[in-house]
Amino acid sequence: MTKTVAILAGDGIGPEIVAQAVNVLKTLQVSFGLDVQLVDGLIGGAAIDVTGVPLPAETLNLARRADAVLLGAVGGPKWDNLERDIRPERGLLAIRAELGLFANLRPAILYPELANASTLKPEVVSDLDLLIVRELTGGIYFGKPRGIRTLDNGEREGFNTLVYAEHEIERIAHVAFRSAEKRQGRVCSVDKANVLESTELWREVVTRVARDYPHVSLTHMYVDNAAMQLVRWPKQFDVMVTTNMFGDILSDLASQLTGSIGMLPSASLDAHGKGLYEPIHGSAPDIAGQNRANPLATLLSVAMMLRYSLGQMELADKVEQAVKQVLKDGLRTADIFSKGSDQTLVSTQEMGDAVVAVLRAAL
Ligand SMILES: NC(=O)C1=CN([C@@H]2O[C@H](COP(=O)(O)OP(=O)(O)OC[C@H]3O[C@@H](n4cnc5c(N)ncnc54)[C@H](O)[C@@H]3O)[C@@H](O)[C@H]2O)C=CC1
Ligand SMILES: CC(C)CC(=O)C(=O)O
Ligand SMILES: [Mg+2]
């Protein structure tokens, strides 16, 4: 049966990188019989410009009907002075919440060809393969009350609320333990339980859920130490499970261990296999429109979509193999390029075309 994929390119480099992903999906359609229908929708600043809101009802309906959603990125200086509730980023938070996408899987894998692009020494990152499981629809990005208020003395005060209910912690913990069962069997739960009651409960609930997984080991780490340990010896981690904000920050950090933020894909999943797939990075306004962005995180997100939402394991492997091949062939966008080497500096489009060419050659 034909599957529907909603394509939400968004802002900044979003349209440039998503165009490469669409080319890959069309190649899989034409050359490998992938039965998908691609339907475009507006989100973020692009949606604000046309409809006045960052997540139009039409886009939400499209995403609800679709089997999977592919998203580029949202946001940019053009919309930064808008009223808080209609900024592009609120559209992204809203689609995650509306679709119930509570589990954000962010694998950080070092491709051997990029060992020299990592910020760490090759021996510290060789074979790095860790998975950050980030809670995505709760925590401080969603907690109420929130806002900016004026006090009696005229001074303004900004405030947010970090709150986690037991069921929110339980379900993300299960995702982490089930993931670890298929990997090296180790979960590290990252919190700030020494200071924050919300994550004191987090630690207690994760410890309770661990009893259902006798073959998985559980350790706990405070987030400040976790940030330090990630750059000291990242291979100590298999699966890291953490809150919305801590996962957001630690995954950007982890991306540099693999060479670039342009390399990390993500899957945001609900309880039933519905997923939204996007690179972990933002809209990169500093390089938008220059055909310089690395599209590989987005193409690897397509591979995750094929695997988790479209049931196409072999095609997922093929896309990942094609990414590995273009790196082996020495092709590099600017973010992963090292001068004085036998690498070829390529544009966003050229990198996308090269992946498509490898896929076609694999026919
Ligand atoms: N999922 C999303 O849609 C996200 C949206 N944002 C939004 O994006 C805008 C920019 O945010 P920033 O903090 O600058 O984060 P960013 O992730 O967009 O960019 C950070 C740095 O990484 C570089 N970079 C990012 N993606 C790259 C790629 N594929 N290839 C090469 N270089 C890449 C950028 O050029 C920039 O120097 C803001 O409006 C922010 O709110 C930020 C993070 C996630
Ligand atoms: C709007 C932000 C929460 C997006 C972001 O930085 C992310 O999900 O990584
Ligand atoms: Mg982020």
Kindly name the residue from 67, 111, 191, 192 that is annotated as catalytic: 192
Kindly indicate whether the ipTM for this predicted assembly is greater than 0.90, answering yes or no: yes
**Average of per-residue pLDDT values in the chain:** 97
Mean pLDDT across the stretch 278-289?
98
Q: What are the angstrom distances between the C-alpha of 147 and each of 84, 164, 212?
A: 9, 19, 39
Asked if residues 240 and 188 have their Cβ atoms less than 8 Å apart, the reply is: yes
Residues 6 or more apart whose Cβ sits within 8 Å of residue 300: 263, 264, 265, 279, 319, 320, 323
In the residue annotation, 342 being an active-site residue is answered as no
In the residue annotation, 11 being an active-site residue is answered as no
Is 341's pLDDT higher than 80? no
Asked if residues 222 and 298 have their Cβ atoms less than 8 Å apart, the reply is: no
In the residue annotation, 252 being an active-site residue is answered as yes
For position 273, what pLDDT does the model report? 84
Asked if residues 133 and 105 have their Cβ atoms less than 8 Å apart, the reply is: yes
Same fold, 1-104+261-363 and 129-257: yes
The pLDDT tens digits of the residues spanning 139-152 come to: 999 999 999 999 99
Domain boundaries, the chain: 1-104+261-363, 129-257
CA 250, CA 230: separation in Å to the nearest integer? 8
The pLDDT tens digits of the residues spanning 209-260 come to: 999 999 999 999 999 999 999 999 999 999 999 999 999 999 999 999 999 9
Mean pLDDT across the stretch 110-132?
95
Residue nearest to atom 2 of ligand 2 (CA): 89
In the residue annotation, 164 being an active-site residue is answered as no
Type and span of the H or E element at 147: strand 147-150
Which residue's entry shows tokens 């529907």? 4
Least confident of 105-109, 341-345, 355-359: 341-345
The pLDDT tens digits of the residues spanning 301-321 come to: 999 999 999 999 999 999 999
In the residue annotation, 328 being an active-site residue is answered as no
Q: Which atom of ligand 1 is nearest to the CA of 77?
A: 39
Report pTM.
Answer: 0.98
Give the distance, in angstroms, between the CA of residue 51 and the centroid of all CA atoms in the same chain. 26
The pLDDT tens digits of the residues spanning 47-72 come to: 999 999 999 999 999 999 999 999 99
List 303's β-bridge partners, or say none: none
Q: Tell me the ligand closest to 117's alpha carbon.
A: 1
For position 234, what pLDDT does the model report? 98
CATH superfamily of 129-257: Isopropylmalate Dehydrogenase (3.40.718.10)
| CATH no., domain 1-104+261-363 | 3.40.718.10
The pLDDT tens digits of the residues spanning 156-193 come to: 999 999 999 999 999 999 999 999 999 999 999 999 99
Q: Is 77 in the pocket of ligand 1 (CB under 6 A)?
A: no
Query: In this structure, what token pair is assigned to residue 272?
Result: 């039933």
- 249 CA distance to ligand 3 centroid (A)? 6
- 105 CA distance to ligand 2 centroid (A)? 13
Point out the annotated binding site for NAD(+). Answer: 76-89, 282-294
Is 340's pLDDT higher than 80? no
- 30 CA distance to ligand 1 centroid (A)? 32
List 7's β-bridge partners, or say none: 40, 70
Kindly name the residue from 248, 274, 277, 335 that is annotated as catalytic: 248
- 303 CA distance to ligand 3 centroid (A)? 20
Point out the annotated binding site for Mg(2+). Answer: 224, 248, 252
List 150's β-bridge partners, or say none: 156
Q: Which atom of ligand 2 is nearest to the CA of 104?
A: 8
